[in-house]
């Protein structure tokens, strides 16, 4: 996901895109950012639980 986001950013910074192409790239980038943000928040929560010395079954939620 990070590589795809980097590609989108590179494309928007270094290519002459139409307004429509830019908007589509921006939308894709925002969706990826939201997914990455959610993933990082989940990882942070798991780390906090582990740091407190509590054992949890993290695979229960289907990951």
DSSP for 4-56 reads HHHHHHHHHHHS---HHHHHHHHHHHHHHHHHHHHHHHHHHHHHHHHHTT---
How far apart are the C-alpha atoms of 4 and 18, rounded to whole Å?
Answer: 20
pLDDT of residue 32: 96
pLDDT of residue 53: 62
What tokens appear for 6 in the block? 């980097």
pLDDT of residue 4: 94
pLDDT of residue 3: 94
User: How many residues does the structure list for the chain?
Assistant: 63
The string of pLDDT tens digits covering residues 1-58 is 899 999 999 999 998 899 999 999 999 999 999 999 999 999 998 888 887 765 555 5
Give the predicted TM-score (pTM) of the model.
Answer: 0.65
**Look-up of token digits 């990070």:** 2
């Amino acid at each position: 996901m990070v590589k795809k986001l980097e590609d989108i950013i590179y494309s928007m910074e270094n290519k002459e895109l139409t307004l429509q192409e830019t908007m589509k790239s921006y939308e894709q980038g925002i969706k990826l950012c939201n997914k990455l943000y959610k993933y990082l928040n989940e990882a942070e929560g798991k780390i906090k639980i582990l740091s407190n010395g509590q054992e949890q079954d993290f695979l229960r939620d289907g990951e």
